[in-house]
Amino acid sequence: MTTQHPKTALITGANKGIGFEIARQLAKRGFAVFVGSRDMAKGRAAAQSLCDEGYEATFIQLDVVDPVSIKQAAGTFSQKADHLDVLINNAAILEDHGETILKLNPELLDRTLATNVQGTIMVTQDFLPYLQKSPAGARIINVSSDVSTLSTMQTYAPAYSISKAALNAVTRQFAAALPHMAVNAVSPGWVRTDMGGAGASRPVDKGAETIVWLAAEAPVTETGKFWRDKEAIGW
pLDDT digits (tens, 9 = 90+) for 15-32: 999 999 999 999 999 999
In a domain, 99, yes or no: yes
Domain encompassing residue 168: 8-233
Strand partners, 60: 36
CATH code for the domain in which residue 124 is found: 3.40.50.720
The Cα–Cα gap between 199 and 15 comes to: 21
In a domain, 2, yes or no: no
Domains identified in the chain, total number: 1
Instruction: Note the pTM of the prediction, 2 decimals.
Output: 0.95
pLDDT digits (tens, 9 = 90+) for 192-218: 666 666 766 677 778 899 999 999 999
In a domain, 111, yes or no: yes
In a domain, 3, yes or no: no
The Cα–Cα gap between 17 and 210 comes to: 15
In a domain, 203, yes or no: yes
For β-strands 57-61 and 139-143, DSSP reports them as unpaired
- Inter-residue long-range contacts of 47-56, CB under 8 Å, 24+ positions, other chains counted: 50/23, 50/24, 53/24, 53/27, 55/24, 55/27, 55/28, 56/3, 56/5, 56/27, 56/32
- pLDDT given at position 136: 87
pLDDT digits (tens, 9 = 90+) for 141-198: 999 999 999 999 999 999 999 999 999 999 999 999 999 999 999 998 655 666 666 7
Contact (Cβ atoms closer than 8 angstroms) between residue 87 and residue 80: no
Positions marked active-site:
144-145, 160, 164
- pLDDT given at position 66: 98
